[in-house]
């Protein structure tokens, strides 16, 4: 196994609000190897997007990456880097694409100018070279007639084309890590298939590593090599994608997989995870999933389970007492309750 390119240790991103402390990302650790795709999956409010933004240090006050968090990219700790250093790193060594490209593209600049700008910020090149690079990138992401389309404005592009343009911009400086936060969620399925295909192709051609966040388990199953399952600001399970999907260990992962409708089978009722994601202002004590877990017993309410350093760890007391892994999910349309 190659040395990790990116190594995140005990990442904690807290919001210090007037109403108290919000522990949105609470001790996330992972490693990413060159060329690898790490999928981060979980429901809204679990801290996936804030984990991504933290990697690029795009956290605004009252949010703060807490002391002791480590984000090592090669031999640099991004958690400690100055803002000037971060400006050199962002868009150059580590880039990000977002769910809604229209909000990340400047509506009054042409697509070409925006791509060329990111090249000129990081590379000492003449305008003509930057423009040539922009055309090359648009061609690379499959935009037809790039010489003409370079002069288009974002509103002249469809949703799928805008996402392609965003990818072109993010990759213009050959980053070694691409952080993709729900890049296909706003797209129709046929367009989503095109973009996933494109990302996989680009990755094998350019060799970048990718952190891919999605709430959609199907998308993660398709694109990820390894998977982190997040719940309530923490990683509750991590491992190779095959292991996560074929042999989930954590009850949350198990519940998610059973509650997703699949196109391949028809069930009259889906399994239900009762309740909803708790508020980050007050995570439940003990195991944060215990109020929704069908296996929970008193130990789960009192103590938070350990998260071992292993190939396929699960943050769950069932790891210690596997004999309690009996019964499980119901399909009753139980109401969602505050937990």
Q: In terms of CB distance, is 57 or 226 closer to other proteins?
A: 226
Q: Residue 76 CB, nearest distance to other proteins (Å)?
A: 34
Burial of 19 (0-12, 13-18, 19+ CB in 10 A): exposed
Distance CA 154, CA 156 (A): 5
Does residue 260 interact with other proteins by CB under 8 A? yes
Q: Residue 103 CB, nearest distance to other proteins (Å)?
A: 17
Does residue 310 interact with other proteins by CB under 8 A? no
Does residue 217 interact with other proteins by CB under 8 A? yes
Does residue 191 interact with other proteins by CB under 8 A? yes
Does residue 201 interact with other proteins by CB under 8 A? no
Respond yes or no on whether the N-terminal peptide bond of residue 47 is cis (omega within 30° of 0): no
Does residue 148 interact with other proteins by CB under 8 A? no
Q: Residue 269 CB, nearest distance to other proteins (Å)?
A: 5
251 phi and psi, to 5 degrees?
A: -55, -30
Q: Residue 220 CB, nearest distance to other proteins (Å)?
A: 8
Q: In terms of CB distance, is 8 or 111 closer to other proteins?
A: 111
Does residue 102 interact with other proteins by CB under 8 A? no
Q: Cβ of 240: how many Cβ atoms within 10 Å?
A: 14
Burial of 33 (0-12, 13-18, 19+ CB in 10 A): middle
Tell the residue number behind the tokens 């190939």, with chain if given: 311
Look up residue 186 and give its DSSP letter. T
Q: Residue 297 CB, nearest distance to other proteins (Å)?
A: 21
Q: Among 44, 148, 151, 301, which residue sits at the site for other proteins (rule: CB under 8 A)?
A: 44
Q: Among 34, 271, 299, 319, which residue sits at the site for other proteins (rule: CB under 8 A)?
A: 271
Does residue 43 interact with other proteins by CB under 8 A? yes
Q: Among 58, 259, 294, 299, which residue sits at the site for other proteins (rule: CB under 8 A)?
A: 259
Does residue 287 interact with other proteins by CB under 8 A? no
Q: Residue 216 CB, nearest distance to other proteins (Å)?
A: 7
Task: Take residue 107 and report the two structure tokens written for it.
Answer: 């509506």
* Sequence-ordered strand ranges (E) for 208-267: 209-214, 226-231, 234-240
Q: In terms of CB distance, is 2 or 335 closer to other proteins?
A: 335
Size of the site for other proteins (CB under 8 A): 54
Does residue 205 interact with other proteins by CB under 8 A? no
Beta bridge partners of 238: 228
| Residue 312: CA count within 13 A, CB half-sphere | 15
Task: Take residue 73 and report the two structure tokens written for it.
Answer: 């990219």
Q: Are strands 94-97 and 76-77 parallel, antiparallel or unpaired?
A: unpaired
Asked if residue 62 lies in contact with residue 204, where contact means CB atoms within 8 angstroms, the answer is no
What does the binding site for other proteins look like in residue numbers (CB under 8 A)? 43-44, 158, 160-161, 188-194, 196-197, 215-222, 241-242, 245-246, 255-257, 259-274, 276-277, 331-336, 338
């Amino acid at each position: 196994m190659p040395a990790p390119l990116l190594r995140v240790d005990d990442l904690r991103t807290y919001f210090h609000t007037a109403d108290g402390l919000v522990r949105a990302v609470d001790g996330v650790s992972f490693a990413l190897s060159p060329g690898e795709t790490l999928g981060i999956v979980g429901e809204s409010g679990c801290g996936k997007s804030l984990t991504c933004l933290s990697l690029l240090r795009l956290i605004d006050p009252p949010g703060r990456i807490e002391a002791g968090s480590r984000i090592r990219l090669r031999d640099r700790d991004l958690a400690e880097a100055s803002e000037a250093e971060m400006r050199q790193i962002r868009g150059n060594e580590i880039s990000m694409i977002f769910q809604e490209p229209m909000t990340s593209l400047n509506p009054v600049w042409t697509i070409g100018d925006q791509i060329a700008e990111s090249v000129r910020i990081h590379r000492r090149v003449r305008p003509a070279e930057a423009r040539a690079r922009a055309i090359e990138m648009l061609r690379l992401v499959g935009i037809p007639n790039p010489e003409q389309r370079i002069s288009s404005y974002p509103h002249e592009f469809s949703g799928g084309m805008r996402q392609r343009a965003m990818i072109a911009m993010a990759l213009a400086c050959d980053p070694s890590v691409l952080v993709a936060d729900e890049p296909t969620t706003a797209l129709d399925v046929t367009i989503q298939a095109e973009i996933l295909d494109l990302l996989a192709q680009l990755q094998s051609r350019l060799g970048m590593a990718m952190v891919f966040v999605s709430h959609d388990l199907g998308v993660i199953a398709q694109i990820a090599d390894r998977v982190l399952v997040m719940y309530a600001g923490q990683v509750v399970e991590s491992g190779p994608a095959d292991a996560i999907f074929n042999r989930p260990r954590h009850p949350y992962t198990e519940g998610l997989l059973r509650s997703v409708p699949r196109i391949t089978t028809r069930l009259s009722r889906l399994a239900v995870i009762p309740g909803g994601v708790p508020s980050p202002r007050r995570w439940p004590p003990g195991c944060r999933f215990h109020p929704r877990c069908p296996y929970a017993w008193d130990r789960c309410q009192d103590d938070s389970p350990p998260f071992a350093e292993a190939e396929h760890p699960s943050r769950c007391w069932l790891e210690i007492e596997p004999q309690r892994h009996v019964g499980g999910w119901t399909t009753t349309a139980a109401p969602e309750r505050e937990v």
